[in-house]
Structure 1
């Protein structure tokens, strides 16, 4: 049972890390706008843009600079470091 919980924690953690990598790639692609018009760019936009759109509702761009990706990355890091870990620590305490 504990091994299953640890495996689930690892999968969730790796999925969030993969999403962070996709987010970084998407942000870097914004520096070269023609890359977003590729097939890969369109797929990545469908994956990442809904998450970024949530933060853009609350954090408007300042001039030409969009700070919402920075906040989005910080929230994902906080989720990995605190949220997911604490939830699984509580589950492990109840199981053992």
Structure 2
């Protein structure tokens, strides 16, 4: 049981780090020259596969793109769902 909790704890940390990477990706749009740097390219390679899941949704309103925010909220909902399921199973 302790190993399961440890694995879930690491998974939650990775999900939090990934959410932070998505926020950095969103902030990079304010300074487009950052896309050309090596760290910018790394962030793009990490974040684009997940963000592509939300591209077909109508999330552009009045010139603003809410795709990243919806992706972050979805990631947090998945994290909460895992916590609820494990809480119901283990405790």
TM-score, normalization: structure 1?
0.85
Q: CA deviation at 1:63?
A: 4.2
2:79 is aligned to 80
2:54 is aligned to 55
**Kept after mapping to 2: 8 A contact 1:59/1:67:** no
Larger RCO, structure (CA 8 Å, separation 6 or more): 1
Runs of 4+ that moved beyond 3 A? none
Note the residue ranges of structure 1 that are not aligned, 5 or more in a row: none
Match of 1:57, SS state, is coil
CA RMSD of aligned residues (A): 1.4
TM-score, normalization: structure 2?
0.89
Q: CA deviation at 1:29?
A: 0.6
CA distance in 1, matches of 2:46, 2:63: 23
Structure with the higher fraction of residues in strand conformation? 2
2:90 is aligned to 92
CA distance in 2, matches of 1:86, 1:7: 16
Q: CA deviation at 1:56?
A: 1.4
Structure label with greater radius of gyration: 1
* Number of matched pairs: 91
